[in-house]
A and B are shown apart, each in its own frame.
Chain A
Amino acid sequence: MTARPHPVPVLAVLAALAALTFLVLLPLAALFAEVLDQGIGRALAAFNDPESRAAIRLTALVAAISVPVNTIGGLAAAWCIARFHFAGRGMLLTFIELPLSVSPVISGLVWVLLFGAQGWFAPVLERLGVQVIFATPGLVLATLFVTFPFVVRQLVPLMVAQGREEEEAALTLGAGGWRMFWHVTLPNVRWALLQGVLLLNARAMGEFGAVSVVSGRIRGQTLTMPLQIEALYNDFQAPAAFAMAGLLALLALVTLGARAMLEWQTRRAVDAQVTPA
């Protein structure tokens, strides 16, 4: 518990920081420099455009649906995988992680193959008069696919490492299944879960490749924020495009800030628990 880290060579620190600067910090700085170049006023004016507002609303809607669905599903899957041994467990985990390594383009393509006018379910949709591809449902489905593994990936390693003793103890003490879940399981994974949800949300709002295949690019209707950025960029409205990109980057930074805060709080809580003991 009193592990005192010994010094890391200054050279190593500098090298790591240099790598982060060139890869991560400078692109971000370049982005914000472009925004500031145009002036804050013009950047803010970009958000008065009704099409840009529609894009922001649509992105929020897509995230508002994708996040809970994939969080609930992810919790259930993590419970199975981390707490039980069953045939095909590794297979299931591989399938769940598959979307991470599938090209976003493919993630969009599969929905077109299913629900497009030439797709498997085209006749059914036609009869119901429901539009999936090139409408909000298609955007939601593509986003669900892309953000599918985030929660599971955060939870499983942690839950495996924690073991199931605490939960078994809770049961022995007479807690019911849901009580155990709310009072033992969930608090134990709280931080990892939130971290997963934050990343899920960030990806849901920022996905480009997959939604670009299923969007149809109808202005003010099926353009999410990243697609709107591309549209503005191609409209010779670079200032507005960079303003919107800056907003998404800011969102990413807030996400990361919130994560760092969570991590710090959790560590403090853990330390507080541990020290008196």
Chain B
Amino acid sequence: MKGSFVRPNPLPGFGPAFGLTLTWVSLIVLIPLAALVVRPWSLGIAGVLASLGSPRVLAALELSFGASLGAAAINVPLGLLVAWVLVRGRFPGRQLADALVDLPFALPTAVAGIALTTLYAPNGWIGRLFAPFGVELAYAVPGIMVALVFAGLPYVVRTVQPVLMDLPADVEEAAATLGARPPQILVRVVLPAILPALLTGFAMAFARAVGEYGSVIFIAGNMPGLTEIAPLLIVIRLEQFDYSGAAVLALAMLALSFTMLAAVNLVQQLLARRGG
């Protein structure tokens, strides 16, 4: 097993650890996903294409991927701001704010969905403020975006934060001494250094948002073609005994996510190679 594919290394334990890892990955991830990859083809290629090409499916995929891109795009500046403030700022309650960032990680999605809907529904604390102007938050695309931004925020903050921490503050200070203002420091000095982390954070937030289910179904209107997300459509197909149809959609989403993650890992490796 240790053959030639692993570069020689004095450290022990590669064999057993690798074996355990492969067992673990295979049992819990690969075999189940294999079932998913095989299943749709019982429809035949034409059937798969027809199943993916229906307007309702396209609308759901467009909503899921569009809203997720939007939410991730919002999360990048927002997450950067929060991470920067948490790392460099000194203000009372900073540690509390720091801990709160992880809440979307830790809070069960269904609980988050109920809480966000309670807040943003037309009779909720925030929804009430917008309702008189005819602005709908819950049960419309803005509500979906809120839920997705909520779900993705910690990914950006937590990937950027450690890099910002490691970034020697004296570089920023030197820039400040040379007369640079905070926004300039951010754009010229900080941003290039954290670009890889920002990219990872964006990808993670995006991937998480695409698959998000528990919190979104509470706050989305779930109207076909308008506010129906792709994961819900999978559930709907499942409930109609349409296993292959559900698997087709799941596989399409999986392929898109996998491509995304692989691309980010590749870019990451390129940046690392260039940097080191």
Contacts and interface: CB of A to CB of B under 8 A. Distances in A.
Direct contact of A and B (CB under 8 A): yes
Interface of A: 3-9, 12-13, 15-17, 19-20, 22-28, 30-31, 34, 69, 72-73, 76-77, 79-80, 83-88, 90, 92-106, 109-114, 118-120, 141, 144-145, 148, 157, 164, 167-168, 171, 177, 180-181, 199, 202-203, 205-209, 213, 225-226, 229-230, 233, 241-242, 245, 248-249, 251-253, 255-257, 259-260, 264
B20 A76 contact: yes
B109 interface: yes
A213 B238 contact: yes
B187 to A, nearest CB: 14
Interface of B: 5-7, 9-14, 16-18, 20-21, 24-25, 28-33, 35-36, 39, 78, 81-82, 84-91, 95, 97-112, 114-116, 118-119, 124-126, 146, 149-150, 153, 162, 168-170, 172-173, 176, 182, 204, 207-208, 210-214, 230-231, 234-235, 238, 243, 246-247, 250, 253-254, 257-258, 260-262, 265-266, 269
B33 A3 contact: no
**Chain B interface secondary structure, helix, strand, loop or mixed?**
helix
B210 A101 contact: yes
B172 to A, nearest CB: 7
B49 to A, nearest CB: 20
Contact of B30 (A26, A84, A95, A264): A95
A158 to B, nearest CB: 8
B29 A96 contact: yes
Describe A's contact surface by its main secondary structure: helix
A104 B214 contact: yes
5 closest residue pairs by CB, A with B: A206-B108, A101-B207, A103-B211, A73-B24, A110-B32
Contacts of B107: 28, 206, 248-249, 252
Contacts of B243: 113, 118
